[in-house]
A and B are shown apart, each in its own frame.
Chain A
Amino acid sequence: MSKLTLSKALNEGLRRALEADPKVMIMGEDVGKLGGVFRVTDGLQKDFGEHRVVDTPLAESGIIGTAIGLALRGYRPVCEIQFDGFVFPATDQIISQLAKMRYRSRGKISLPVVIRIPCGGGIGAVEHHSESPEAYFTHAAGLRVVACADAADAYSMIQLAIASDDPVIFFEPKRRYWDKGEVDTTAPLDSAQPLDRARVVLAGTDVTLLSYGPLVRTCVEAAMAVARERSVEVIDLRSLSPLDMATIGESVRRTGRCVVAHEAPVYSGLGAEIAARVTEACFYHLEAPVLRVGGFATPYPPSRLEEHYLPDLDRILDGVDRAFSY
């Protein structure tokens, strides 16, 4: 076991994937010499060469489009999109090509491409650097969409994503990059939790609190804060598409209450899908409607306002309280 930041855990995971399979490549803006703006790929170009860790031209569609071509040739590209708000120039390649190629080819083509995207707010950044675009991608059949929340999970999840024969959108909580956690870098990958399974982070009996990415830690802190009055079960979804409804349903049928928290706008967000599914699957067990806590139906605000936009511990607890008011 070693104590690593989430950023370093990803770096170690990438290193291990590069070592394990010569077809694995890393490509993106500033990922080589600089090591990425968040240093996630630090040192990898030096150790694996410019052919495997590629500093690309500044063109997001180009990164994904050429990664598709490389995957058609048998490579396993891991692409970095520098910030959440910069993924949109690549959405045509992601949604029209990457997601659909297996279906289009009746299973003859696999595109094992991973797209790493630092996501979420809370770092006082300028516009386009704090967004949570996951719902755009969970709506596209053919993509796996996952989010890591801590160092240990990030380390294995990135390797599982690279090993997947499906394209994976891999969200990294940028304000948690420097959070440290114990990571077992000697554990075999087979022992890691599968990529499409949710994880109960904190067991509880009164209410199920679902989240992913940067808010998982906030949810745990919220649960601890009220531990004397309420027993809150916190689940890290990990996989946003497909959703692990088995784990979610099992929990909600036990607790009878469910709150979903994410940074993305509530309107048409992932929480809406979860609420509809939980309502259908757990209707006779519910003591209250499934409630959502998240960003507002505004564009991401200037950073001096983001503390009001982002769900924090108090707003999450407000959501939990509301679940007990029915």
Chain B
Amino acid sequence: MTETGLIQLLTPEGERVDNPAYPLDEAADIKGMYRDMVLVRRIDTEAIALQRHGELGLWASLLGQEAAQIGSGRALTPKDMAFPSYREHGVAWCRGLDPLRLLELFRGVSNGSWDPEEHKFHLYTIVIGDQTLHATGYAMGIQRDAAEDEAVIVYFGDGATSQGDVSEAFAWASVFNAPVVFFCQNNQWAISAPQDRQSRVPLYQRASGFGFPGVRVDGNDVLACHAVTRRALQAAREGQGPTLIEAYTYRMGAHTTTDDPTRYRLASDVEVWRLRDPIERVRSYLARSGQADSTFFAAIDAEANELGERIREGCRTLPDPAPLELFDHVYAGGSAILDDERERYAAYLESFEQTDTALEEAGL
């Protein structure tokens, strides 16, 4: 622990430090974590470029948050359920989701096309903080099912902690002792609002008022994020109720591709955090400790190139939905009002085709 109570197992310089309360998992696959972080950063880089090329409408970058997401995502068992906000591309990766499913959403092809139960990864939630209540309710369901080997993790940001729903989720999880881990990535910016606009106290301290533990972890330290999350999930499974984890990190990029952070923060502040890069420290550690050599790093880079290629090609060829799909899946039981609208709009579209055919036949 450092003077700020920040749990750390790997310093920004790549030095291993021990924390007796959070021992490193012997089975922790550090090289695998490195690989995941490099690959999700590549997904992110490609997605930003695709947005600049007009292939995506928007992208929310995870740059700088790779360790928080991969560390926590890898701490989940296949049975655990994760509820993301809209920036958890790294967690999605850990849950086995094809990155193209995420790109579909930002391209405007769908609002979320994956099966949440298949991946144990819920759809992205864009309204800030709403998913904390869904996660808490899901955890209450686990209690009712007496499924003692399952827990829930829910992701949200520093800005979300100001939302009423997040406080309600804390209260509910606490009084019902629900098996849910609240994973707050404090990336210090809610678009342009700095963290001190959200809270006068460190965010992890919020938990104490609700009666459950809160911890602050170095969000750029993948080993610490993994260890802290693993312990919190285990506590949840063992009936010890919720934990709030504040992963203290930094949003290195813009809020989304439409944002311009130079209007509200100094480049020098960003530079300070560049020195705490989550990937570099693992690379240094692996190299220095002799666990990986240049062949390993080159192979990962080659894999990232292949992934980049696949994403670029895959994104450009994502098919647009057919016009009448607009009307699908509003009601399970159907609606005569909606059926009528669909029918009329189909006829309207059909009228253009008829006109086109008639013009063609007339040689016009």
Contact = CB atoms under 8 A, between A and B. Distances in A.
A65 B332 contact: no
Contacts of B171: 57, 59, 62
Interface string B117-152: 000001101010010111111111111110000000
Contact of A65 (B130, B329, B333): B130
Given A105-B116, A108-B116, A245 B336 contact: yes
Contact of A61 (B110, B168, B333): B168
A66 B130 CA distance: 10
B314 interface: no
A162 B4 CA distance: 51
A51 B144 CA distance: 7
A243 B115 contact: no
Contacts of A75: 141, 144
Interface of B: 110-113, 115-116, 122-123, 125, 127, 130, 132-145, 164-165, 168-169, 171-172, 175, 328-333, 335-338, 340
Contacts of B115: 108
Given A61-B164, A92-B130, A101-B123, 11 more contacts: A57-B171, A62-B133, A62-B169, A69-B134, A97-B130, A103-B329, A104-B112, A105-B123, A106-B329, A107-B329, A164-B333
Interface in A161-185: 164-166
A73 B130 contact: no
A144 interface: yes
Contact of A67 (B125, B137, B335): B137
A287 interface: no
Given A61-B133, A164-B332, A92 B127 contact: yes
Closest 3 CB pairs of A and B: A69-B137, A65-B133, A73-B141
A244 B336 CA distance: 8
A106 B133 contact: no
Given A51-B144, A105-B116, A110 B136 contact: no
A93 B113 contact: no
Interface string A241-254: 11111100000000
Given A107-B328, A109-B116, A196-B336, A73 B145 contact: yes
Contacts of A69: 133-141
Choose among A71, A108, A245 the residue with the greatest number of B CB atoms under 10 Å from its CB.
A108
A17 to B, nearest CB: 17
B332 A166 contact: yes
A313 interface: no
A325 interface: no
A102 B334 CA distance: 12
Contacts of A103: 111, 329-330
Contacts of A61: 133, 164-165, 168
B122 to A, nearest CB: 7
A70 interface: yes
Given A92-B130, A97-B127, A166-B331, A65 B338 contact: no
Contact of B331 (A56, A66, A72, A142): A142
Contacts of A92: 127, 130, 165
A73 B138 contact: yes
Given A104-B112, A107-B328, A108-B116, A93 B141 contact: no
